[in-house]
Amino acid sequence: MKRFNIVGTDVPRTDAEAKARGTAIYTDDMKLPGMLYGKILRSPLPHALIRNIDISRAASLPGVKCVITGEDTPKIKYGNWRLFPETQDEYPLAVEKVRFIGDEVAAVAAIDNDTAEEALELIKVEYEELPGVFDVDSSILPAAPVIHDYCPSNISVNRKIKYGDIEKGFAEADYVREDTFTMQSVSHAYLEPCSALAQVDLDGRITLWTSTQVPYIIQCLLASTLNMRENDIRVIKPFVGGGFGGKMELRAWEFCAAFIAKKTGRPVKFTLSREEEFLTGRRRHPMKIRSRVGFKKDGTLVAKDLRIQLDGGAYNAMGPTATFLCGNFGAMLYRYPNYRFHGEHIYTNKPPASAMRGFGAPQSLYATEIQMNLAAEELGIDPIDIRLKNAQVSGDKIPDVATISSCGFIESIKAVADMSGWKEKRKNLKPGQGIGIGCYSFISGGVFNWFNTQYPFSAAEVRAFSDGTVHLLTMASDIGQGSDTVLKQILAEELGLNMGDIRITSADTSMTPQADLGSWGSRVTLMAGNAVIDAAKKIKERLFGALSARFNLNVIHEIECKNGRVQAVTRPDYGLTFGEAVALVQKANRGEPLVARGSYTPRGKGLVTPAFGFGAQVAEVEVDRQTGLVEVKQMWTAHDCGTVINPRSVEGQLAGSIQMGLGYALSEQFVMDGGKTLNTSFVDYKMPTAADMPPSQVVHVDTYEPEGPMGAKEAGEGLASPTAPAISDAVYHATGYRCMDLPVTPEKILEGMKKD
């Protein structure tokens, strides 16, 4: 493994001091002169025709400056970006029909929040209520009400994957099991509610500050829905208080802020309440998963037949992508010589589900991992051993999808078994104690070969100055995961500079290179990192050429950037400071600035991703057999993310993943009644806090990813998947209750123990 100077060290986060001091500026902190405050009127019904909207009283209320409905807008649908344009099914404000409780019907802008709230109460909407459907089984019945006219079956997307001979595989199996899993919906629960502020200039161009993961995508979709040119809209991402997939789409308030700003000529800001976030926000897809797997007697996998029905809620959102990906994740981790997947995305009259950390993997891999544990028990094989027998390794192929490049999966399984004392603990469990395992694999980049765009998938610009400093410009979005810091580390390493020598501007569509698809799919480090290296190498090429001419070096002299200098490797005295070398280049080019643009688009590197992360996790629990209360005593994690750019940041990602996995496993779920979300506050939505976090040990498995920047690959989303199956498996060994329908609640445990 190559060793580095800055990469691989615990560099403090670029944004850490601002956040610790409270000086970080988020969208809702911003206030512009003459700014109006926006509010959205939402449907109280899950399914209804809109017969009439009377806005007259609201519009005449003193202090109200604008009221709009769907009829005022250009009525252009939006949705799943450029991946599946045929599935775009959502208007910024409802037109003719509402499809879930909370659907956006009208928007107002007033001189203050109180006036805007009062105006909402004055809008009168006449609805004709329609029957609603609230689960996938009811929605696909022949007599079910149709939610979207274009889709009479309510099945908006069918995705299929097949390779090998599935019938032959099962015929050769010695042991076949079929199980059904029900996965619940959960909230992203980011701490910063969504907020958007729009301003229009004298030329009619719009600037939008918004809490988003995808500024360039917002620019494109906003331009489309407003019937404007793309570059007449500027999108700026301020500090973002978490996203986790919940802020990667154009949403109604962003459109309304821009539309009303253009209409009134005044800045307009919309900020959601926490109740709105829980009631109407995007959420993780509930899924019904039917999985049939076949094994030989020795535990070798021979076939898998997977069917998943996704409850998409009222609109497609990012559901079409999730439908494919959960099938792709179903083929990951282990070698399946014969595989078949059928995924259906189904409309219901509930808030739309969409992307959430893991993007289909936590649901799909829960089924995978629980079935591996069930099969191991039935076949009399240790769960560690059955995984080692079937684990994917470098060079394995998923037909028509990917070839596994670097892979530390086997090493991760062995490492986590060793540090947890797996063999010994499993033999000596006391009543109420349990230990369980879950594993994962995840993409490092995500679905890039489905796009059709004239831009690269990530780009960076590097400007070098004669004072020895460098300015990095990137549209990659730091939403709390620390990508600004990581990209600066990569650039500092490549140019031989210190972190303090580098300034970064990110996520501003008018200032940074017009390419980057946002923070999702664990793509930023690999894709933006490679773009940064490409730009840095072009800077180095010009510096090296100037140095070679200055010192009359020939081809046998290697030149390097190191410790703030540009110098010959074997003759460091033949060199200049970085700033002096930049000045030399500028002088040779009559003062022309030293600027380079880099890009990265991994064509021909697989359908879904150029690289995969891998890992394994063990959980130890103690269950009170009288109350069913679960206490997670310890977590052990071993994972392969290639070169670790910033260990502290990676471990922060791990801690956040465990927190989300704890909630997914044990407590988090939406309580629904007739399409209405009942638990709309942090008091009622049972999310783990810092006090609930168990002790944790982690091992970084040492691999090098050839396609990654300096050998790095994903570390952000994959780790969201193993925690729930590891805890669930541990609960089983503590109580005898096997959970097939998350979350694992005390009530289910107590009932399951009675049946056992």
Q: What angle do CA 290, 291, 297 make, to 5 degrees?
A: 150
In a domain, 166, yes or no: no
Q: Mark whether 416 and 491 lie in a shared domain.
A: no
How far apart, in whole angstroms, are the C-alpha atoms of residue 581 and residue 601?
30
**Residues 592, 697 contacting (CB under 8 angstroms):** no
pLDDT of residue 400: 82
pLDDT of residue 86: 80
The two beta strands, 206-210 and 195-200, are antiparallel
Look at residues 570, 600, 630 and tell me which one is the last residue of a structural domain.
600
Q: Mark whether 579 and 710 lie in a shared domain.
A: no
Q: Report how far apart, in Å, the C-alpha atoms of 59 and of each of 39, 107, 273, 396, 504 are.
A: 13, 11, 23, 64, 44
CATH code for the domain of 348 = 3.30.365.10
pLDDT of residue 608: 79
Q: Mark whether 105 and 119 lie in a shared domain.
A: yes
Please count the other Cβ atoms lying within 10 Å of the Cβ belonging to residue 627: 10
Burial of 478 (0-12, 13-18, 19+ CB in 10 A): buried
**Residues 37, 107 contacting (CB under 8 angstroms):** no
How far apart, in whole angstroms, are the C-alpha atoms of residue 615 and residue 640?
6
Cis peptide before 722 (omega within 30 of 0): no
pLDDT of residue 453: 58
Helix, strand or coil, per DSSP, at residue 165: coil
Q: Mark whether 121 and 256 lie in a shared domain.
A: yes
Tokens standing for residue 162 = 């097949």
How far apart, in whole angstroms, are the C-alpha atoms of residue 440 and residue 641?
12
DSSP state of 642: B
The stretches of 351-408 forming alpha helices (DSSP H) are 361-379, 383-390
How far apart, in whole angstroms, are the C-alpha atoms of residue 343 and residue 320?
10
In a domain, 155, yes or no: no
Q: Mark whether 438 and 557 lie in a shared domain.
A: no
pTM over 0.95: yes
Q: Mark whether 268 and 304 lie in a shared domain.
A: no
* Residue (of 363, 458, 353) closest to 80 by Cα position: 353
pLDDT of residue 82: 55
Amino acid of residue 61: L
How far apart, in whole angstroms, are the C-alpha atoms of residue 282 and residue 318?
10
Helices 723-735 and 746-755, axial angle in degrees (round to 10): 40
Look at residues 580, 600, 620 and tell me which one is the last residue of a structural domain.
600
Look at residues 552, 585, 600 and tell me which one is the last residue of a structural domain.
600
Q: Mark whether 272 and 336 lie in a shared domain.
A: no
* Residue (of 285, 288, 208, 280) closest to 245 by Cα position: 285
In a domain, 424, yes or no: yes
Burial of 149 (0-12, 13-18, 19+ CB in 10 A): exposed
Task: Give residue 86's domain range.
Answer: 27-130+191-242+247-280
Q: Mark whether 430 and 535 lie in a shared domain.
A: no
Strands (E), 111-253: 124-129, 155-163, 175-183, 195-200, 206-210, 233-236
**Residues 74, 225 contacting (CB under 8 angstroms):** yes
pLDDT in tens, 636-657: 999 999 999 999 999 999 999 9
Q: Mark whether 381 and 471 lie in a shared domain.
A: no
What's phi and psi for 504, nearest 5 deg? -125, 135
Tokens standing for residue 448 = 């890039």
Tokens standing for residue 273 = 């309440």
How far apart, in whole angstroms, are the C-alpha atoms of residue 730 and residue 623?
9
**Residues 414, 422 contacting (CB under 8 angstroms):** no
Number of domains in the chain: 3
Please count the other Cβ atoms lying within 10 Å of the Cβ belonging to residue 506: 22
In a domain, 152, yes or no: no
pLDDT in tens, 67-93: 999 999 999 999 876 556 788 999 999
Q: Mark whether 467 and 544 lie in a shared domain.
A: yes
Dihedral over Cα of 729, 731, 737, 741: its sign: negative
> How many CA atoms does the CB half-sphere of 578 hold within 13 Å?
25
Tokens standing for residue 138 = 């009811």
Q: Mark whether 363 and 403 lie in a shared domain.
A: yes
Amino acid of residue 611: A
Chunked mean pLDDT (size 10), the chain, 756 residues: 86 94 98 98 98 98 98 94 78 98 98 98 98 98 97 97 97 98 98 98 97 96 96 98 96 98 98 97 98 98 98 96 94 97 98 97 98 98 98 94 93 98 93 97 73 76 98 96 97 98 97 89 94 98 96 84 96 96 97 96 81 97 97 98 96 96 98 97 96 96 95 94 98 97 98 86
**Residues 315, 345 contacting (CB under 8 angstroms):** no
In a domain, 136, yes or no: no
Q: What spatial distance separates the first Cα and last Cα of the chain, rounded to whole Å?
A: 51
In a domain, 143, yes or no: no
How far apart, in whole angstroms, are the C-alpha atoms of residue 685 and residue 667?
9
In a domain, 70, yes or no: yes
Q: Mark whether 70 and 214 lie in a shared domain.
A: yes
DSSP string, 561-583: EETTEEEESS-TTSEEEHHHHHH
Tokens standing for residue 534 = 């490409």
CATH code for the domain of 270 = 3.90.1170.50
Q: Sheet containing 559-562: give its strands across.
A: 559-562, 565-568, 575-577
In a domain, 263, yes or no: yes
